[in-house]
Amino acid sequence: MAGADRLDREAHRTREEVCMSDPLFLVRGLTVEFGGLTALSGLDMEVNPGEIVGLIGPNGAGKTTAFNAITGIVRPSAGRVYFRGTDITHWSPPRIASAGIARTFQSIRLYDDLTVAENVMVASHSAISYTFLEAIVGLGRFSREERRIQEKAERLLDLMGLTEFARERASSLPYGSQRKLEVARALALEPSLLLLDEPVAGMNPAETMEFSNLLRKIREDLDLSIALIEHDMGFVMKICHTITVIDHGIPIARGAPGEIKTNEQVIAAYLGE
Amino acid sequence: MDISFATQQLVFGFTLGCFYGLIAIGYTMVYGVLRLINFAHGDLLMVSAYFAFFGIIIFELPWQISFLLAVALTGVLGILIDRGAYRPLRHSPRISALITAIGISFLLENLALVIVGGRPKSFPLPSLFGGVIKIAGVTIPVLSVWVFFITALLLAAVMYIVRRTRVGMAMRALSLDMETVGLMGVDANRVISFTFVLGSVLAAAGGMMWSMKYPAVEPFMGVLPGLKAFVAAVLGGIGNVAGAALGGFILGVAEILIVAVKPEWSGYRDAIAFCILIVILLTRPRGIMGEELPD
Amino acid sequence: MESEARSPLQHKTRDRVLTLLSVGALFAFLWYADHHFSPYSIRILNNIAIFIILAVSYNLINGVTGQFSLEPNAFVAVGAYTSALLTLSPEEKIRSFIIEPIVWPLSEISVSFPVSLLCAGLLTALMALLMSIPVFRVRGDYLAIVTLGFGEVIQVVANNLVSITNGPLGLKGLHPHTTLWWSWGFCVLTVFSVVRLVRSSYGRAMQAVREDETAAQAMGINAFRTKTLAFTFSAFFEGVAGGLLAHLITTISPSLFTFFLTFHLLIIIVVGGLGSTTGVVVAAALFTWGGEFLRIVEEPTTIFGYYYEGIPGMRMVILSLLLIVVMLFARRGLMGGKEFSWQALIDWTGRLIALAKRCV
């Protein structure tokens, strides 16, 4: 069928590209269709090691859909996603997470009933080294591993400035702290690529500035690459190396912040919003 | 096995399938819109039967009035259950609504037990539905013919409502995305109430006819049919009305035919639905006509 | 700040000692009860232990992992029959199976009580594992229906597979192996295992699946494996409880293991608080002990000079209403979602003492 042929051709073409340019993360022609509606059409994206890439566009443009398709929560109708040269297009979310891609959610999706510390500790489960039987009996490996997980969570909470809340229920946190907790949780996966969905939404300028500095610090300390979705233009322009713009599911521009700021199509898309 | 016997078994199977289908439609509609398995739905079969029984035997109303009243009252009960028990939990974790649903189901059954007593009551059969007719040498109960007609009629009505009316469209939209639909000015609660009424009315009609075919009315009579009807809904494709009817037919015919072919398995008859359920979940979880429901 | 975060580990030794002492006190009490209580009271104590086992296991899949399941009556039945069929001697089996002789190899096998319990648990765990494959691979909503249906199937099988289960006649004359030591011993074991599991990373994963399955998967948790673990674990202890129950009441038949049993457990875990092991233990004890009182509603009695006929089924009406009311108005149950901890008890006692001091 035509669709399959197109997929094959794209896969073939982009495999060559991957070998040549070697970005950490590559998206080609990502398309998502829901029963007649095209939420996303032909998105290309690239993240090189250490880069911060922005994905912006008017409301409902399909940005979160893109993240959902990349992380396996939604099935792409067409296109390919590559991570470290491997095709991860149809991988399941846990597998993608274990491979080194972590994300936060636009609408905060914390484990409300668990404590702040537990929220972060859960992310360490996929790499757990003890079996459930050992957990029950409580042999040496269990205690050591639990201590390791706990200390890692403490470090991350400290990094994000959330230590005072460690024993509180996640749902009781103020909004800004909840957003930071989502990031801390994602970092517990020890990812190479961090996907942030509207990380500073609802933050005032002071908090946003603090978050930008934090983000830069995390990127350096933990050797991360970042892709983020945001509406706050100031934040995006300041912190991103490259920006991709989509409108109604279709990519309309890609480039450095300076170029995007003055791009006519981009301005028109936002004005029309 | 001769043709006449086989045809008769087929007729029985279709009749049973009609019952399962009528109940399954209510399950599938509510699940489609709310993602809730309304465990109390099967018990509506029992409730409507008791309503009709009381109308005819205790209040001595003509059966036409009793049946109509029973259907109407059951519809009202459906709305009351939604308003009282499910609506308050609309934004709670799904397990809360499920547990409440089981609670309502058990409450209905035991209320019936307390009010009416456990001894099965004999459901009266109006003469219109009695007797048999002979078609091409095969003896078919008149009731079965009525069941086919009424089921077909009701099915057509529901399909029309779901496909061609604004309410039906709203129902389908709700099943895809409840939040956005609310934003577009649709009163989600009213549409949901309507869904419950529709399903309840169908279940009540099924209950009336079921009681004429299997005249022993007792508080727990709706449990197994309800369970099997849900399996039928899953078989046909949960969320799909035509699928529910189709699933009902397949299940009804399967149950009758399997026992007809292997009478030694008749004790295990009720396990057939369970086996079918497991097979569907293993091979094609979205059912015959089902689409992938979002989340 | 650091010392606060590490305090649960700091007091680990103290907590362990306190727990050990409590268990010791419990067994001392049981020894006393064994020698001084009436058979009726002992029966109730045994029942309480068994229901605690059932409630705590049932809570693991429903409350901790958030997957609505209706499995207990099926697994308890399987466990009861398995254990009973294994402990009965070949002669006893010949005497019991009057409709159809029991099938080989069951006709020859006869094992000790503890071995039969282990087999009961393992068989139910295996069934749970097999069921997990069709159910947890797809939308978990169907778990309730599948387990409900399975309960019906077990009823049907128990009644019809006469050469294995002796059909509606059931199995009589089982040795009353279940003593306070066995039932409470397993009770302590079950509670201990479940608590440790919930406090480990596996427990956290289960709760994460309950809180937000999609987010959990995005954080690397395999929801299928997590749910399967919880379900199988629950099943194991429910099977063992079935064996204990069988050898307590010494007569089992299919009609014993209907949906009523599951419903009772559902009420217990809802009132106790879904996910709270402490609440569930307390609720199980309360309901089993207090259940005797509810029986009044169904028997003729005289209250305040009025003769009350007693209505069968009234008990269940009251319980159903209780369930609905709790779900609508007090979802977090008895404990409000909090768990027992020695630290909390110490804090609470301290506050009580301070309050008393001020009043004096």
pLDDT at position B276: 93
pLDDT at C95 over 90: no
Report the chain B residue with the minimal C-alpha distance to residue C136. B281
pLDDT at C360 over 80: no
The reply to whether residue C134 touches residue B106, judged by beta carbons under 8 angstroms, is no
Per-residue HEC secondary structure of C11-49 comes to CHHHHHHHHHHHHHHHHHHHHHHHHHCCHHHHHHHHHHH
For range C21-45, the mean pLDDT: 87
pLDDT at position C216: 95
For residue C344, the chain A residues in CB contact (below 8 A) are none
Which residues of chain B carry a pLDDT beneath 70? Answer: 1, 178-179, 182-183, 292-295
Structure tokens given for A69: 């398709």
pLDDT tens digit sequence for A12-36: 445 545 444 578 888 988 988 877 7
pLDDT at position C2: 38
> Which among A138, A154, A189 has the least Cβ separation from residue C220?
A189
> Which among B110, B277, B295 has the least Cβ separation from residue C313?
B110
pLDDT at A11 over 60: no
For range A210-221, the mean pLDDT: 90
CA pair distance C86, C74, nearest whole angstrom: 18
CA pair distance C110, C93, nearest whole angstrom: 10
pLDDT at C60 over 90: yes
Report the chain A residue with the minimal C-alpha distance to residue B177. A34
The reply to whether residue B277 touches residue C138, judged by beta carbons under 8 angstroms, is no
Q: Residue A241 has what DSSP assignment?
A: S
The reply to whether residue A149 touches residue C201, judged by beta carbons under 8 angstroms, is yes
Q: Is A36 on the interface with B (CB under 8 A)?
A: no
> Which among C229, C233, C337 has the least Cβ separation from residue A113?
C337
pLDDT at C312 over 80: no
Neighbours of B50 (CB within 10 A): 23
Q: Is C208 on the interface with A (CB under 8 A)?
A: yes
**Mean pLDDT, all residues of chain B:** 89
Mean pLDDT: which of A35-49, A117-131, B172-186, C302-316 is highest?
A: A117-131
> Which among A110, A123, A154 has the least Cβ separation from residue C5?
A154
For the ranges A145-149, B15-19, C272-276, which has the lowest average pLDDT? Answer: C272-276
For range C84-104, the mean pLDDT: 82
pLDDT at C52 over 90: yes
CA pair distance C42, C288, nearest whole angstrom: 13
pLDDT at position A20: 47
Q: What are phi and psi of C137, to 5 degrees?
A: -70, -35
Q: Is A202 on the interface with C (CB under 8 A)?
A: no
- The bridge status of strand A225-229 relative to strand A52-56 is parallel
> Which one of A111, A118, A168 makes the best mutation probe of the C interface by having the most chain C beta carbons within 10 Å?
A111
Asked whether the beta carbons of A160 and A167 are under 8 A apart, the reply is: no
DSSP calls for B179-235: HHHHHTT--HHHHHHHHHHHHHHHHHHHHHHHHHHS-EE-TTTTHHHHHHHHHHHHH
For the ranges A105-114, A222-231, B261-270, C194-203, which has the lowest average pLDDT? Answer: B261-270
For residue C229, the chain A residues in CB contact (below 8 A) are 132
Residue B156, Cβ density class (10 Å: 0-12 exposed, 13-18 middle, ≥19 buried): exposed
For residue C210, the chain B residues in CB contact (below 8 A) are 93
pLDDT at position C336: 67
Structure tokens given for C299: 């028997």
- The closest of A109, A66, A81 to A11, measured between CA atoms, is A81
Neighbours of C256 (CB within 10 A): 18
Q: How confident is the model at residue A110 (pLDDT cuts 50, 70, 90)?
A: very high
Q: How confident is the model at residue A3 (pLDDT cuts 50, 70, 90)?
A: very low
Check if the interface score ipTM surpasses 0.90.
Answer: no
Question: How far is A64 from chain B, CA to nearest CA, in Å?
Answer: 16
Report the chain A residue with the minimal C-alpha distance to residue B291. A35
Q: List, in order, residues 6 or more apart from C320 with CB less than 8 Å away.
A: B103, B104, B106, B107, B110
- With a CB-CB cutoff of 8 Å, which residues 145-174 of chain A face chain C? 145-147, 149-150, 154, 163-164, 166-167
pLDDT at position C49: 95
For range A47-64, the mean pLDDT: 87
For residue B118, the chain C residues in CB contact (below 8 A) are 312-313
- The closest of C272, C284, C285, C286 to C336, measured between CA atoms, is C272
Question: How far is B163 from chain A, CA to nearest CA, in Å?
Answer: 17
